[in-house]
Chains A and B, each alone.
Chain A
Amino acid sequence: MTDSKYFTTTKKGEIFELKAELNSDKKEKKKEAVKKVIASMTVGKDVSALFPDVVNCMQTDNLELKKLVYLYLMNYAKSQPDMAIMAVNTFVKDCEDPNPLIRALAVRTMGCIRVDKITEYLCEPLRKCLKDEDPYVRKTAAVCVAKLHDINAQLVEDQGFLDTLKDLISDSNPMVVANAVAALSEIAESHPNSNLLDLNPQSINKLLTALNECTEWGQIFILDCLANYTPRDDRESQSICERVTPRLSHANSAVVLSAVKVLMKFMEMLPKDLDYYGTLLKKLAPPLVTLLSAEPELQYVALRNINLIVQKRPEILKHEMKVFFVKYNDPIYVKLEKLDIMIRLASQANIAQVLAELKEYATEVDVDFVRKAVRAIGRCAIKVEQSAERCVSTLLDLIQTKVNYVVQEAIVVIKDIFRKYPNKYESVIATLCENLDSLDEPEARAAMIWIVGEYAERIDNADELLESFLEGFHDESTQVQLQLLTAIVKLFLKKPTETQELVQQVLSLATQDSDNPDLRDRGYIYWRLLSTDPVAAKEVVLAEKPLISEETDLIEPTLLEELICHIGTLASVYHKPPSAFVEGSRGVMHKRLPLGGDIGGSPAMGAGFGAAPAVMPASLNAPVGGGLGDLFDLGGGVGMPMGAYIPPKTVWLPAMKAKGLEISGTFARRAGVIQMELVLTNKAMSVMTDFAIQFNRNSFGLAPAGPLQVLTPLGPNQTIEVSLPLSTVGPVMKMDPLNNLQVAVKNNIDVFYFSCQYPISMLFVEDGKMERQVFLATWKDIPNDNESQFQIQDCHLNSEAASNKLQGSNIFTIAKRTVEGQDMLYMSIKLSNGIWVLAELKVQAGNPNYTISLKCRAPEVSQCVFQCYEAVLKN
């Protein structure tokens, strides 16, 4: 007798018939009927009408039938809450059953029924089951607490279930411990600050003991929970690592990956010179390689994770290039991921092998894979300089195959190679030009046009080539149109005599016949440039380009750190933080790697110390652009006093000295724009008009970014407030003091001169947050002679408030360390002219005097910077 027949009943009147069968006296018939109901439910038919009849079958000693009824209840109880109550009695009775399997079944099912009235009845049985003598019941009850919390969190707290759950962490049975850990971790996720999982050395020890004894799944729960713990010091960190490493030999890949996560995280705390650190690094490689012999889906998960690990700690797998070679039968998703990792691991030592492989791949069938392989060859050229020549010749070979998409992809990467190594491989241009006609993708067309424009002087028929594109100008994509416009202008600047007509043509196409504002604007700019100042045009259009960087696709370091904390999970597969794909409060909390352990050296910080979580660079979410000062303040988030410090206005030019014109003012930085805020008062008898302003050369090249906007004449005894945006691209001359600014203001009466001092914090730019590693390296790099120390007295802020306040003025706290009650804040500042200032601020609780050390390659600015600190902190 088979059960598949239940799937085939589709006739009319079925529900009616089922009803009759469910109420049958014969046990067998009843069971058959319930099976039919479940089958209909599975395929998506609505059988909720049978609710009372099914529930009637619940009172049975046949466990199989009971389970089926429970399954039905879990599905439909929510739609029939009143009816569901009928089941409560049976549940409560079952929770007292002498058979532990039935007790567990009852409590497990009750937790899945999301009906308030049932939930109320659940509390008492659950309380008993949590203390049941049978471990099977206890482990089921532990998960049930998480279920109940999902339905009614308040109830769980009121009933004290959380404490009972915490007690279960010390249970004698490893599976109970594992489930309790899983339940607590889940509950803790929705209460980020509850400290529910109060992890301390004692509880960690219990978890580590249970780790050796519980099922593979339990080991995963425990390891994932351990990963949230931050050890107190490097010694504790090492001892946990030692007890976790045996898991790397587990047959279950998820256990291995979760162990890798714990190790990667805790390793941050180990001093690098420790022997154990090196041992641990060596131990990590083999299990990661072994993951690649798992089933393809797991390989995919492993590869996505290895991609992160390789970025964070390239040393682990640097000798394992070969295992990432693509196999002919790998699924495409495995192939693409392997390719990615191959490029990351490519180095001078293995480049020959890598190139040989990539060349093979470029002849494969899957178009995406082939394209990626071709692109990879280009990236190798850019990454490993010694290989560039071989890469270029490989690409040329590929172009000879004439396979359309291979050729296009090759041309796109060759453009990047030209950018990286100018004046080296231009001999291949002729070959590229031969393939001009076969290019049909915008990116490839744009790349080719760029090449023609850039090297117009070496291509005899550059004008013909570009002209050929011009015919279908309006059918091209924007990318190609923009590139064509620029290329023709370049050509014109290089060979003005022969191409005048061509440039006229393209300019009119771009400006008159196009609807695209970007294209039109670029067209007009070129047109004006060419017509007013061809020399300037040459400087602009043919300017020297910055070299392109090697690694453009690296994951941004803070995200990478967060993802390392999520190894093995979906976040590590998507390479996105959980908040990007999880709804609600879960997973919104950002995880960070722990503080580093390189004690000693100044400043005493490891390569990967954690950022103080309260300090987020405000500039990230602030709109950029003038006049948006208010928005800037809003963009910062809660609890952060935002906005730069603005000194009070002072009188710069008294009326006596300026024939009745009084000028007072101050400086402010709003949304990245420096502004001089002036108050002009007319204390004379006659009207003042025709205001203008000019600056003398100054230390940082400050200059008015526009004319002084005084639109209406200023009558006697009238006051007007003007704010003047400033740029930092004016002529530079060192002043004394450094922040001195000499200003000339003109009106219809005379020209007046005054000088004022601006707070140097006006020049602190928004992207002044230095990478931690960079900070550390820079700090060591700057000679000690350049360090200056100052005292800030009578400041009553705690370190957190201080760092928030300073952040408002673009002084960024990169890390914070507490040593013997003394907070050390490490900060970075970037001036508008690119000078970096690094600072170490020592704040001792209860001591109003701060000590600050500043390090900078241009030590002259230190004094001014210190003044800023003082001004910002005390206001």
Chain B
Amino acid sequence: MIGGLFIYNHKGEVLISRVYRDDIGRNAVDAFRVNVIHARQQVRSPVTNIARTSFFHVKRSNIWLAVVTKQNVNAAMVFEFLYKMCDVMASYFGKISEENIKNNFVLIYELLDEILDFGYPQNSETGSLKTFITQQGIKGQTKEEQSQITSQVTGQIGWRREGIKYRRNELFLDVLESVNLLMSPQGQVLSAHVSGRVVMKSYLSGMPECKFGMNDKIIIDKAGKGGVTNEAGKSTSGKQSIAIDDCTFNQCVRLSKFDSERSISFIPPDGEYELMRYRTTKDIILPFRVIPLVREVGRTKLEVKVVIKSNFKPSLLAQKIEVRIPTPLNTSGVQVICMKGKAKYKASENAIVWKIKRMAGMKESQISAEIELLPTNDKKKWARPPISMNFEVPFAPSGLKVRYLKVFESKLNYSDHDVIKWVRYIGRSGIYETRC
């Protein structure tokens, strides 16, 4: 199991050091600093073995978090734990920085004592941790309160406490998708997938039982059984359905129920959390196409022309569009002409950055640039990194639609109809690249 956890600043000075196991000595702290933080080369692996001691590390801004062990631990668990630790710290004191860590070191020790016992991760839900780890000290809890805390921490529904009340029962659903694309210069899709998240903000009283429904092909087909289902994925009801490759759920979702009935039922945590993640690869709506044209004119000049085409309903508007066209390292000067938006050559980033605030669907825009190069005797050819794009669109590129989110709370007197529900779709670019 986890033998210890160290937090360092960018210089390699220790900010937090907590050792859980006897086989980890103080010299482990220095071993990691010398061999990883101060190493001359770039880090080649997040797992390092130094003298039979294994180190796992993640970096947040310029803070290093390292777990150390001498045993054959579950490596995936260690990294999940480190991410979780970062989340917990962030929810207690915001950004993970040297300043914040030093300011909260007592709190961090207290958290580490609670979250890890003998190197075994215990309870890491911020919701319940905040009920009994505070920096105000625990004052005058009654016996009932104490046992409520312990039963929540160890209970089946560790993520929600009893007795939550809201005057107005309300919930917000955000379908956040990032669409990823790798396209060849000829316009052939090499790979494309959407990774999506359904984020829920729930302000609901009591212990509500929720059921979430979406246009999952398997469910729709099941429901449409007996009726005629045509090949385009349209069931008799006429709704478009999508094929989900895989999805994962927050721990509040009953997985066995999903496995057997494919229904998503749960008691939600209070406040904001991520309900599910999913991935689709079929029938993705690619919001933009990038058509590059790069021509080398002699050895000292490049001509670049890039056309972008928006590919969605004309009534919708894409925002925050940014096209990044890489330029060779020996670029001496760039002249840019664009029809729309602003374009600038950024020498420090070796790229032309073209920004467009808004763009409606089914439009196209173009940029052309002349890049002058310094002659070099470097034999190696320019690697031509791909042209990348950023944008935000008000729909889900996967085609996912929320069909319902039903709320049942039998003990309190509000029904599904009384809950105010909001749904929003945002599609963003993930890694959206076109090779040139």
Contacts and interface: CB of A to CB of B under 8 A. Distances in A.
A246 B255 contact: yes
A43 B156 CA distance: 39
Contact of A251 (B19, B75, B251): B251
Interface string B353-383: 0000000000000000000000000011101
A353 to B, nearest CB: 8
Contacts of B16: 42
B15 A42 contact: yes
A328 B156 contact: no
A246 B258 contact: yes
Which residue among B19, B72, B122 has the maximum number of chain A CB atoms within 10 Å of its CB? B72
Interface stretch (B135-143, B284-292, B412-420): B135-143
A484 B1 CA distance: 53
Nearest to B44: A333
Interface stretch (B101-109, B305-313, B335-343, B396-404): B101-109
B380 A215 contact: no
B296 interface: no
A15 B249 CA distance: 52
A251 B279 CA distance: 13
B137 A64 contact: yes
Contact of B76 (A221, A254, A323, A571): A254
Nearest to A99: B146
Interface string B21-38: 111001001000000000
Which residue among B46, B77, B247, B274 has the maximum number of chain A CB atoms within 10 Å of its CB? B77
Contact of B155 (A173, A224, A581): A173
B151 interface: yes
A98 B143 contact: yes
A4 B104 CA distance: 8
A322 B190 contact: yes
A44 interface: yes
Contacts of A574: 47, 49
A767 interface: no
Interface string A332-364: 110000000000000000000100110010011
A228 interface: no
A264 to B, nearest CB: 14
A568 B73 CA distance: 9
B101 to A, nearest CB: 9
Contact of B75 (A43, A322, A573): A573
A140 B124 CA distance: 15
B58 A101 contact: no
A298 B120 contact: no
A244 to B, nearest CB: 10
B328 interface: no
Contacts of A100: 146-147, 150
A213 B110 CA distance: 26
B218 to A, nearest CB: 13
Interface residues on A, range: 35 or more
Which residue among A3, A35, A44 has the maximum number of chain B CB atoms within 10 Å of its CB? A3
A586 B42 contact: no
A217 B122 contact: yes
Interface in B196-241: none
A174 B156 CA distance: 7
B435 A360 contact: yes
A99 B248 contact: no
What's the dominant secondary structure at chain B's contact region?
mixed
Contact of A293 (B26, B120, B279): B279
A305 to B, nearest CB: 8
Contacts of B247: 249, 290
Contact of B74 (A62, A364, A569): A569
A286 B245 contact: yes
Which residue among A4, A71, A214, A287 has the maximum number of chain B CB atoms within 10 Å of its CB? A4
Interface stretch (A142-150, A468-476, A738-746): A142-150
Given A7-B102, A42-B14, A325 B83 contact: no
Nearest to A220: B77
B91 interface: no
A174 B122 CA distance: 12
A136 B190 contact: no
Contacts of A144: 118
Nearest to B134: A64
B277 A300 contact: no
Nearest to A321: B191
B158 A215 contact: yes
A98 B14 CA distance: 37
B121 interface: yes
What's the dominant secondary structure at chain A's contact region?
helix
Contacts of A583: 23, 52, 70
Interface string A854-875: 0000000000000000000000
A250 B76 contact: no
A313 B16 CA distance: 43
A693 B381 CA distance: 71
B13 A43 contact: yes
Interface string A156-196: 00000000000000000111100100100010000000000
A570 B154 contact: no
Interface in A201-225: 212-217, 220-221, 224
A570 B75 contact: yes
Interface in B149-175: 149-151, 153-156, 158
B230 to A, nearest CB: 25
Which residue among A147, A297, A568 has the maximum number of chain B CB atoms within 10 Å of its CB? A297
Given A215-B251, A327-B431, A328-B431, A62 B137 contact: yes
A6 B103 CA distance: 9
A72 to B, nearest CB: 10
A217 B246 contact: no
A39 interface: yes
B348 interface: no
Which residue among B26, B102, B106 has the maximum number of chain A CB atoms within 10 Å of its CB? B106
A401 B14 contact: no
B281 to A, nearest CB: 8
Interface string A300-344: 111000000000000000000011010111001100000000000
B71 A68 contact: no
Nearest to A586: B71
B315 interface: no
25 contacts: A3-B104, A67-B109, A100-B146, A111-B118, A136-B149, A136-B151, A136-B153, A147-B118, A176-B154, A217-B81, A246-B259, A249-B258, A254-B74, A289-B245, A290-B245, A293-B277, A297-B56, A300-B45, A327-B433, A402-B379, A403-B379, A570-B71, A574-B49, A581-B49, A581-B52
Given A134-B147, A569-B73, A574-B47, 12 more contacts: A42-B15, A100-B146, A112-B118, A150-B22, A220-B77, A249-B258, A251-B274, A293-B195, A298-B76, A328-B386, A328-B433, A570-B54
Top 7 nearest A-B pairs (CB, nearest first) are A286-B246, A136-B150, A4-B102, A254-B76, A246-B259, A246-B255, A254-B77
